[in-house]
């Protein structure tokens, strides 16, 4: 019996690549250097690749040599995201960001490296049945890069019966993994409320319609949409993250602007929040003799794992990290992920790989002091290798 492929000889190279990506972060749809690094690694493995889907996306294909490898139904997609965030890094280690105001604060550098590690293992032993498509996606952070790749023909050019993704998860210690059937990440819509009042001198407020207290009243009332409008057993988050108004302290402005997001695990609750935002903004503004316009900016759908694929992912997690370290019913997160677009079109699942250190949770994602845990690169590579081989081996229509 042939020994399983070993990632150990490649770990040092994977760490160097991951840290190089961390030191040179690129924002959504600007991932040219990152895509070049990914392409160079895949070409060194001898894999044919396609560039340009979604702008800077990279897709490589590996065909097995097993007896049923040519069966077009035996195909699987593995996806990693590549983009960074507009965050000024606080770390001072050697591989800290060299690009001011840009940082891999969400671990996409690690996702990319883990999937390249998985491609390395699969390329070492190609005796599996079927085809593996490695998807390196741009623009996850607010750019809906998954949707762009799909619009450019991702699933038509590279047909696959299932698609899978992993996200590093600081709340889980390194060595643990998790997944769940059903919603695992929330939908997210952005909203903007434009309040129109009547400006004037700060010493004569009675001659104005001050939009600032109107904005404050609206923000206060919006909080009741979740606390008093959503079933306590349901999940929803409404956050106002930005308010703009005025120029100087002695002038009452004409306008005020409120910006926020709302997140839910179901479309009915999301629609309820959207209706509530419009209702509260309109009527609170009218009560103060102002007017309000609400602009809803649809974002990412709920990331909903398909039952068969999520259960299979859990099975592979147990095989890789052990039953006690694999969680098949992790709590869903209220963060959003554009992989949800892919799961609307192709069956699949999205899981977590622990990124903590020393058996403890790690620094939160999107934090200026965050760094991916290199100790899990080998684990992620081995998981992707086993996931692809076993899914293709057990596949049935």
Using CA atoms, how far apart are residues 90 and 57, in angstroms rounded to an integer? 29
Residues 227 and 332 in one domain: no
The closest of 177, 163, 158 to 303, measured between CA atoms, is 163
Using CA atoms, how far apart are residues 95 and 113, in angstroms rounded to an integer? 15
Beta-bridged to residue 57, according to DSSP, are none
Asked if 73 and 57 touch (Cβ cutoff 8 Å), the reply is no
- Rounded to two decimals, the pTM is 0.93
76-117 pLDDT, tens digit per residue, is: 999 999 999 999 999 999 999 999 999 999 999 999 999 999
Domain end (from 250, 266, 300): 300
CATH number of the domain that residue 270 is part of = 3.30.70.360
Using CA atoms, how far apart are residues 149 and 236, in angstroms rounded to an integer? 29
Per-residue confidence of the chain (397 residues) as pLDDT tens digits?
Answer: 578 899 999 999 999 999 999 999 999 999 999 999 999 999 999 999 999 999 999 999 999 998 877 777 799 999 999 999 999 999 999 999 999 999 999 999 999 999 999 999 999 999 999 999 999 999 999 999 999 999 999 999 999 999 999 999 999 999 999 999 999 999 999 999 999 999 999 999 999 999 999 999 999 999 999 999 999 999 999 999 999 999 999 999 999 999 999 999 998 999 999 999 999 999 999 999 999 999 999 999 999 999 999 999 999 999 999 999 999 999 999 999 999 999 999 999 999 999 998 777 788 999 999 999 999 999 999 999 999 999 999 876 5
Structure tokens at 84: 């960074």
Using CA atoms, how far apart are residues 301 and 171, in angstroms rounded to an integer? 23
Using CA atoms, how far apart are residues 146 and 257, in angstroms rounded to an integer? 30
The reply to whether 360 falls in a domain is: yes
Asked if 104 and 84 touch (Cβ cutoff 8 Å), the reply is yes
Asked if 371 and 91 touch (Cβ cutoff 8 Å), the reply is yes
Question: What is the domain extent for residue 343?
Answer: 8-181+306-394
Exposure of 171 by Cβ count < 10 A (0-12 exposed, 13-18 middle, 19+ buried)? middle
Using CA atoms, how far apart are residues 27 and 83, in angstroms rounded to an integer? 5
Residues 284 and 315 in one domain: no
The reply to whether 1 falls in a domain is: no
The reply to whether 20 falls in a domain is: yes
Backbone φ and ψ of 303, nearest 5°: -85, 105
State the helix-helix crossing angle for 32-44 and 108-124, rounded to 10 degrees: 10
Using CA atoms, how far apart are residues 277 and 240, in angstroms rounded to an integer? 11
Residues 196 and 246 in one domain: yes
Residues 335 and 254 in one domain: no
Residues 18 and 165 in one domain: yes
Length of the chain: 397
Residues 109 and 213 in one domain: no
Domain end (from 259, 274, 300): 300
39 CB contacts (<8 Å, ≥6 apart)? 49, 51, 58
Domain end (from 300, 321, 352): 300
Report the Cα–Cα distance between both ends of the chain, in Å, rounded. 28
Asked if 167 and 218 touch (Cβ cutoff 8 Å), the reply is no
Residues 94 and 219 in one domain: no
Asked if 168 and 373 touch (Cβ cutoff 8 Å), the reply is yes
The reply to whether 3 falls in a domain is: no
The reply to whether 324 falls in a domain is: yes
The reply to whether 59 falls in a domain is: yes
Using CA atoms, how far apart are residues 108 and 184, in angstroms rounded to an integer? 18
Domain count, the chain: 2
The closest of 289, 264, 284 to 274, measured between CA atoms, is 264
CATH number of the domain that residue 177 is part of = 3.40.630.10
72 CB contacts (<8 Å, ≥6 apart)? 159
Q: What's 379's DSSP letter?
A: H
Residues 162 and 47 in one domain: yes
Q: Where are the alpha helices (DSSP H) in the chain?
A: 11-23, 32-44, 108-124, 145-151, 154-157, 211-222, 224-227, 267-287, 307-321, 339-345, 377-394
Using CA atoms, how far apart are residues 126 and 131, in angstroms rounded to an integer? 10
Using CA atoms, how far apart are residues 38 and 81, in angstroms rounded to an integer? 11
Asked if 95 and 22 touch (Cβ cutoff 8 Å), the reply is yes
Residues 64 and 157 in one domain: yes
The reply to whether 2 falls in a domain is: no
Considering the chain, what is the average pLDDT of its residues?
A: 96
392 CB contacts (<8 Å, ≥6 apart)? 64, 74, 76, 128, 129, 130, 132
Residues 222 and 281 in one domain: yes
Residues 240 and 106 in one domain: no
The closest of 258, 229, 263 to 332, measured between CA atoms, is 263
Residues 44 and 28 in one domain: yes
């Amino acid at each position: 019996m042939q020994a399983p492929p070993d990632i150990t000889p490649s770990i040092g190279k994977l760490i160097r690549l991951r840290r190089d990506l961390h030191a040179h972060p690129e924002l959504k749809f600007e991932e040219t250097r990152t895509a070049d690094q990914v392409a160079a690694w895949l070409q060194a493995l001898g894999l044919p690749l396609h560039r340009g889907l979604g702008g800077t996306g990279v897709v490589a294909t590996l065909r097995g040599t097993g007896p049923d490898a040519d069966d077009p139904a035996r195909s699987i997609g593995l996806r990693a995201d590549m983009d960074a965030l507009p965050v000024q890094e606080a770390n001072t280690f050697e591989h800290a960001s060299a690009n001011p105001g840009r940082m891999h604060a969400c671990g996409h550098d690690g996702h990319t490296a883990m999937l390249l590690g998985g491609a390395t293992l699969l390329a070492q032993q190609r005796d599996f049945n079927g085809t593996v498509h490695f998807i390196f996606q741009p623009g996850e952070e607010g750019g809906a890069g998954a949707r762009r790749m799909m619009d450019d023909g991702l699933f038509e050019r590279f047909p696959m019966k299932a698609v899978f993704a992993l996200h590093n998860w600081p709340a889980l210690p390194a060595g643990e993994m998790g997944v769940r059937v059903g919603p695992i990440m929330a939908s997210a819509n952005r909203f903007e409320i434009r309040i129109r009042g009547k400006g004037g001198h700060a010493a004569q407020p009675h001659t104005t319609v001050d939009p600032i207290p109107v904005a404050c009243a609206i923000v206060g009332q919006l909080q009741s949409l979740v606390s008093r409008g959503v079933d306590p057993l349901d999940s929803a988050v409404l956050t106002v993250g930005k308010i703009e108004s005025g120029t100087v302290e002695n002038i009452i402005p004409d306008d005020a602007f409120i910006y926020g997001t709302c997140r839910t695990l179901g479309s009915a609750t999301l629609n309820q929040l959207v209706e509530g935002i419009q209702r509260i903004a309109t009527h609170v503004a009218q009560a103060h003799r102002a007017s309000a316009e609400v602009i809803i900016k649809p974002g990412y759908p709920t990331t909903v794992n398909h039952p068969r694929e999520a259960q299979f992912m859990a099975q592979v997690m147990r095989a890789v990290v052990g039953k006690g370290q694999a969680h098949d019913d992790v709590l869903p997160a209220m963060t959003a992920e554009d992989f949800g677009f892919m799961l609307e079109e192709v069956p699949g699942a999205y899981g977590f790989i622990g990124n903590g250190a020393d058996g403890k949770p790690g620094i939160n994602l999107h934090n200026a002091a965050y760094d991916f845990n290199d100790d899990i690169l080998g684990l992620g590579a081995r998981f992707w290798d086993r996931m692809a081989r076993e899914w293709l081996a057990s596949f049935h229509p």
